[in-house]
Amino acid sequence: MAYIAAHNILSPLGATSAATFAAVAAGRSAVAEHAGLLPSGELVWAARLPAGWAQALPADGFSPFELMLIASIQDATSQVEVALTSERTVFVFATTKGNIGLLDEAAEVSPALRGRLSLAASARAVARYFGSVVVPVVVSNACISGVAALLVAQRLLASGQYDTAVVAGADTVSQFVLTGFQAFQALSAGPCKPFSADRDGINLGEAAATIILTAAPPDGPAVRLAGGAISNDANHISGPSRTGAELAQAIGQALAEAELTAADVDFVSAHGTATPYNDAMEAKAFALSGVQQKPVHSAKGALGHTLGAAGLVESVLSVLSLTEGCLLPTAGYSQPMQLEALPIARTAQPAALRVGLKTASGFGGCNGALIFTRL
């Protein structure tokens, strides 16, 4: 197990965890119509960081993606004393596409640009900025990257190699990624509607998030990462399992590691992309896992799908749900799914919460589940 010592969310709804959480709890959404993001010129619904968000950050050679990581890490590390230059502190980065947005304005793919597209190069540059002497770890496993990075960090701490792990993730909204999802016919024609009968696809979003994990419990009240697991359904490169059995397997393994049962879960922070197949699969997995009657929420309607950052962003929201005693609403939710209806809230609700389940799924059939417990 590992303990959450500090965290940050840098999102279109705020530059801190508290600001983003308050906005999500209030039912706000950053999803809006944008022009100029697709080659065709058509409008697209997405959640983007506000102009000028990086004005106070160093401009010496860092890309927007790298600056997002730096900003998030800076805020998280300002909240707690962390020996960033120690050999006992490791950086773990999560992303799906990293600097791929640099292609949008490039006239050609030069050798220098190829080097900038390396996820390892970005990770080393950001880690060096904070004085790290340890080779950073990069986790890029589609849309479960953030969840997987937390699990990797937890296991590194459990191995005894490190005392502290700085886990950070980010992704930007880029033409490259947008056109890919457009080719899959997966983009919503308007604001997305997670777990709704009339859902029609995703909205992309950009964000960064950081969670600092420690092997030793911090002073005072704490939340711990008590368990986690990853599975693969081996169904299709871009389509999820039709049964949900494999995500259910990950949920069961995560609960077993945390020495808990489905009855102990107080809420589920779902992947909830608002695509027809993903939401139906998750609902089936929740039923197989015995958590289908637990309150479920998705942050995608508020922040869009932030890809490699999503697992971290939504884990921070889960931690704050536990500490603030607040069940979050699902922005964009309109009407129950016909066959797999779930308890979805449209407004924030106060509640005594101790155990939160975070799930994620992604291309290639990957699934992840994490258990957070309030001590």
Across 50-54, 141-145, 264-268, 313-317, least confident range: 50-54
Instruction: Walk me through the domains of the chain, giving residue ranges and CATH numbers.
Output: 2-214 (3.40.47.10), 223-374 (3.40.47.10)
Condensed to tens digits (0 to 9), the pLDDT of residues 65-115 reads 999 999 999 999 999 999 999 999 999 999 999 999 999 888 788 988 999
Mean pLDDT rounded to a whole number for the chain:
95
The C-alpha atoms of residue 282 and residue 272 are separated, in whole angstroms, by 8
296-297 and 326-327 as β-strands: parallel, antiparallel, unpaired? unpaired
Average pLDDT over every residue of 167-193: 95
Which 3 state secondary structure label does DSSP give 207? strand
Tokens representing 356?
A: 């939160």
Contact residues for 115 (Cβ-Cβ < 8 A; gap 6+):
121
Nearest CA-CA partner of 125 in 160, 103, 93: 93
Residues with Cβ < 8 Å from 318, sequence gap 6 or more? 267, 269, 356, 358, 372
Mean pLDDT in residue range 114-141: 97
Specify burial of residue 68 (Cβ count, 10 A radius: 0-12, 13-18, 19+).
Answer: buried
How far is residue 145's CA from residue 307's CA, in Å, rounded to a whole number?
Answer: 8
Mean pLDDT across 137-163: 98
Alpha helices in 89-134 (DSSP H): 111-116, 119-129
Tell me the three state secondary structure of residue 298. coil
| pLDDT score, position 157 | 98
The pLDDT of residue 282 is: 97
The encoded tokens of residue 253 equal: 């393994």
For tokens 């706000």, the residue is: 28
Structure confidence at residue 106 (pLDDT): 83
Q: Answer for the pair 172, 64: CB distance below 8 angstroms, yes or no.
A: yes
CB 29 within 8 A of CB 65: no
Q: At 159, which amino acid appears?
A: S
For the entire predicted model, the pTM comes to: 0.97
Q: 27-49: per-residue pLDDT in tens?
A: 999 999 999 888 888 899 999 99
Q: Quick: pLDDT tens for 232-290.
A: 998 888 889 999 999 999 999 999 999 999 999 999 999 999 999 999 999 999 999 99
- Token readout for 94 is 């999560």
Alpha-helix runs per DSSP H in 219-355: 245-257, 276-289, 300-303, 310-324
Q: What integer is the mean pLDDT of 207-214? A: 98
Residue 219 pLDDT class (50, 70, 90 cuts): confident
